[in-house]
Amino acid sequence: MYGAIIGDIIGSVYEFNNVRRKDFEIQRPTMRFTDDTVLTIATMDALLHPEVGYAAMYKKYFLKYVNSHRGFGGRFYQWGLSTSLKPYHSFGNGSAMRIAPVAWAFNTAEEVLAEAKRSAEVTHNHPEGIKGAQAIALAIFMARQQNSKSEIKDVMQTRFGYDLSRSIDNIRRVNVFDETCQGSVPEALTCFLESTDFEDTLRTSISIGGDSDTIACMACSIAQAAYGIDPKWIEFANTKLDEDQKHILSTFHQKYKLSL
């Protein structure tokens, strides 16, 4: 899960100040966790406490962090403040950026896909919102299972219909801010597929511009499963997280017997 969190934190200062190069400053004091991290940890908490349910857990975390200005999307913000737990037919990338824990908590592709749908549809019950969450979750799971990049790419194209034919250079030239699954999930997948290691995924995903923190969150969540993470990145992330967040991370890793 640290992959998603690191991508979010480092991308946070570039979301509305895009850089179109890979040699950007990668650790800055102003970097902070955003809604991507908040809801990724909420997903972990929901898996630890299934009796609560995803919708109630997401709302709980929203209310906990809403006053610290973490960048919650407009429709999610309205939903979070409402008394309703009903979904709002979103196809935003919020369903995909929070999904990483699901890919580590289950042991078959079928379970991962089913749980990704359950996680997504409590808010993002549009087919594209569900598809985006399932694609990122399955890509992480396949990377965990040591599937090759060509195998992952083939499944992402054939099962989900994403166009992954564009090069990073092409995407970098034309990419704009787009918070939809269909406008950011293929880009995140390509950043991972064209990467050489975790840091290269991180730098590539931010260098294409657009919704930088969320693209990096999604791409780096896959990169963690494929490459692992240098402890220096975990140490950096921990300087930005609060104690409650670190406790959920530790508990989740212990429950599912995951190494940091």
pLDDT at 1: 85
* Cα–Cα distance, 122 to 211 (Å, whole number): 23
pLDDT at 259: 81
Over residues 63-80, the pLDDT tens digits come to: 999 999 999 999 999 999
pLDDT at 222: 98
Give every CB contact of residue 10 below 8 A, 6+ residues apart in sequence: 26, 27, 31, 202, 206, 216
Over residues 234-249, the pLDDT tens digits come to: 999 999 999 999 999 9
Q: How many CB atoms lie within 10 A of CB 3?
A: 30
pLDDT at 128: 98
**258: alpha, beta or left, given left = phi > 0 and alpha = psi -120 to 50?**
beta
SS3 assignment for 52-112: CCHHHHHHHHHHHHHHHCCCCCHHHHHHHHCCCCCCCCCCECHHHHCCHHHHHHCCCHHHH
* Cα–Cα distance, 186 to 163 (Å, whole number): 7
Residue 180: strand pairing partners: 92
* Cα–Cα distance, 80 to 240 (Å, whole number): 24
Residue 92: strand pairing partners: 180
- Residues 136/156/162/8 CA torsion (nearest 10 deg): 20
pLDDT at 248: 98
pTM confidence score? 0.98
Q: Which two tokens stand for residue 177?
A: 């801010």
* DSSP character at residue 15: S
Where the chain has pLDDT below 70, the residues are 260
**At the topology level of CATH, where does 2-15+28-255 sit?**
ADP-ribosylglycohydrolase fold (1.10.4080)
**Do 2 and 229 form a contact (C-beta atoms < 8 A)?**
yes
Domain residues of the chain, as ranges? Answer: 2-15+28-255
Over residues 79-120, the pLDDT tens digits come to: 999 999 999 999 999 999 999 999 999 999 999 999 999 999
Backbone angles phi and psi of 221, in degrees to 5:
-65, -35
> Which CA distances in Å does 225 have to 11, 36, 65, 107, 184?
19, 18, 28, 14, 20
* DSSP character at residue 82: S
